[in-house]
Amino acid sequence: MIPETPSVLIPEKEIRHRVGELARQVSADYDKAEELLLVGVLRGCFIFLADLSRLLTVPRRIDFMALAAYGQNAATSGAVRLIMDLRTNIAGKHVLIVEDIVDTGNTLEYLLDILLPRKPATLKTCVLLRKRERLEKDVKIDYLGFDIPDLWVVGYGLDYADRHRALPYIGVVENEGKGISR
């Protein structure tokens, strides 16, 4: 079987342009902060975080958390499991969560719920993609790349069943994306 090539939803050039804008915005906002701690949410964030972090002009550190949804399919059941916690003590730090995509908002809500009690100086969120129609939780996104339609997207770090993560653009896998129950 020849693997299907995902169709382009957001081209590489557009992503690069938007990530540049976000980096300028974040750099301006944290200009006065001594240091910014970027918290990447693995695995989907890895390319977005790599690009964003290199464009920032403010002092920054990087740490990671890994989460997984319960269950095997692409559908997000809502339940989230912590697989790897931060190494950094975030008390008193300026923390920016870097996420690939917000779908229902469950994951981001979970993250905010576990990080806020650790008393960071500030806690904000930077999200590349949001499916506005799917949102169930009232989570605050401070920096947003793009609003997208209710489609399963891949590439630029995002996967479908662990495939297509390294695509340079955001794409849609027509056949695989259809009929996903969630």
Out of Mg ion, ligand IMP, none, what residue 106 binds, judged by CB under 5 to 8 A for its kind, is ligand IMP
| From 103, 113, 142, 150, active-site residue | 103
Q: x/- binding map, residues 18-47, to ligand IMP, per CB under 6 A?
A: --------------------------x---
* Residue 149: both structure tokens together: 């339609």
Q: Shortest CA distance to 22 belongs to which of 52, 49, 48, 50?
A: 52
Q: Which of residues 143-172 bind ligand IMP (CB under 6 A)?
A: 152-153, 158-159
Binds ligand IMP (CB under 6 A): choice among 51, 103, 111, 170: 103
Tell me the window of 38-46, 71-79, 80-88, 123-131 that interacts with Mg ion (CB under 5 A): 38-46
Backbone dihedral angles phi then psi of residue 175, each to the nearest 5 degrees: -70, -45
Question: In angstroms, how far apart are the furthest CA atoms of the chain?
Answer: 54
CA pair distance 52, 46, nearest whole angstrom: 10
Among 64, 96, 100, 171, binds Mg ion (CB under 5 A): 100
User: Residue type for 179, please?
Assistant: G
Beta strands in the chain (DSSP E): 7-10, 36-42, 60-69, 80-84, 94-102, 122-131, 143-148, 153-154, 170-172
What are the structure tokens assigned to 89, written together? 């003590």
Residue count, binding to ligand IMP (CB under 6 A): 15
H/E segment holding residue 155: none
Using CB under 5 A as the binding rule, whether residue 44 contacts Mg ion is answered as: yes
Indicate the residue among 41 and 139 with the shorter CB distance to Mg ion.
41
Residues 12/13/14/17 CA torsion (nearest 10 deg): 120
Q: Which stretch binds ligand IMP (CB under 6 A): 9-17, 18-26, 98-106, 113-121?
A: 98-106
For residue 107, state whether it binds ligand IMP (rule: CB under 6 A). yes
Is the Cβ of residue 30 or residue 125 nearer to ligand IMP in the bound state? 125
User: Catalytic residue numbers?
Assistant: 103
- Given the rule CB under 6 A, which residues bind ligand IMP? 44, 76, 99-107, 152-153, 158-159
